[in-house]
Amino acid sequence: MPIKGRFMNGTIVPIIAGNWKMNGLIEQLAEISNLDNMLEQMQHKAGHIIICPPATLLNMAKKCAKYGQISFGGQNCHWEERGAHTGDISAEMLADCGALYVILGHSERRMEHGETDEIVQKKVGAAFRAKLTPIICVGESEKERKANMAVEKVLSQIKNSLPSEAKNNKIIIAYEPIWAIGTGLVPTLDEIKEMHQKIREQLVNLFGEHGMQYPILYGGSMKPDNAKNILSIKNVNGGLVGGASLKTSEFIKIIKALDEI
């Protein structure tokens, strides 16, 4: 895929990923077909578009994207391949439904389901086993930001949530300050720049030159009116978008921001 704009000489293809969370019934699949149609008509080539719908819609969503302009991902997986884990979904099951990606360690799972870095690390291993690319979320709380602990927290989450096999696999990091998710609050551009730079350095510390290849997404109240500024920051290789990904009319504006950079 030819890549336009400031990424032309780099190797990282920008990514805009939508996280639908626990939203979406069958009727919302029309949003997927609309988006796929629009991307086809625009001949969109500035980045890679991913939607992570609820697992119940994954298989149908893939079929709705008949032009193949969208890739799909799950929002979580178990670390085991199969077995007595009522209510859980394995990475292999997501792949079987057409997923290429899986969001892991989202702050809502870390907080609501007690997912530790250790658990996230096991899930990342499961994603590799099923040939899924994990989108690994990290981010500080408001308290940690105020106590000047944000960088320390995020770098330790990266160190402890990634297995050593990450070196030989594709991974995507999503920096999502917890206090910015779904709140309309966003860090300053300088704060985002600083954090993404530190994350890049940490990835290089851990994985050598491979660390230069991993996309680092920003997530947390990314909207059409702030997307261009955020996506223009060095080491911001795209966005993980929650609320604004549910309506194609909003999400497409964020995608189009890639063309303006």
88 class by beta-carbon count within 10 Å (0-12 exposed, 13-18 middle, 19+ buried): middle
Which of these ranges, 1-9, 88-96, 119-127, 240-248, lies near ligand PEP under the rule CB under 6 A?
240-248
Q: With respect to ligand PEP, which residue has the nearer C-beta, 112 or 209?
A: 112
Cβ atoms of residues 74 and 49 within 8 Å: no
**Per-residue interface string for the shown chain with ligand PEP, residues 1-20, x marking contact by CB under 6 A:** ------------------x-
What sign does the dihedral 65-93-120-24 (CA atoms) show?
positive
Please select the residue that binds ligand PEP; options are 57, 222, 227, 254, rule is CB under 6 A: 222
- Report, in Å, the least distance between residue 86 CB and ligand PEP: 26
71 part of the interface to ligand PEP, by CB under 6 A: no
Phi, psi of 217 (to 5 degrees): -95, 150
| Amino acid type, 48 | H
241 part of the interface to ligand PEP, by CB under 6 A: yes
What DSSP character marks residue 18? E
| Amino acid type, 205 | N
221 part of the interface to ligand PEP, by CB under 6 A: yes
Ramachandran bin of 171, using left for φ above 0, alpha for ψ from -120 to 50, beta for the remaining angles: beta
**Per-residue interface string for the shown chain with ligand PEP, residues 103-142, x marking contact by CB under 6 A:** ----------------------------------------
225 part of the interface to ligand PEP, by CB under 6 A: no
Please select the residue that binds ligand PEP; options are 133, 219, 233, 237, rule is CB under 6 A: 219
- Report, in Å, the least distance between residue 93 CB and ligand PEP: 22
| Of residues 150-179, those binding ligand PEP (CB under 6 A) | 176
- Say which residues have a Cβ less than 8 Å from residue 50's Cβ, sequence separation at least 6: 15, 16, 17, 18, 70, 71, 72, 73, 100, 101, 135
Annotated catalytic residue within 106, 108, 140, 144? 106
Cβ atoms of residues 71 and 50 within 8 Å: yes
Q: With respect to ligand PEP, which residue has the nearer C-beta, 3 or 137?
A: 137
- Report, in Å, the least distance between residue 240 CB and ligand PEP: 5
Closest residue by beta carbon to ligand PEP = 242
- The Cα 68–Cα 46 span in angstroms is 15
Please select the residue that binds ligand PEP; options are 182, 205, 213, 249, rule is CB under 6 A: 182
176 catalytic? Reply is: yes
- The Cα 131–Cα 169 span in angstroms is 9
| Of residues 13-52, those binding ligand PEP (CB under 6 A) | 19
- The Cα 231–Cα 248 span in angstroms is 19
Active site residues: 106, 176
Instruction: List contacts with ligand PEP (CB under 6 A).
Output: 19, 176, 181-182, 219-222, 240-244
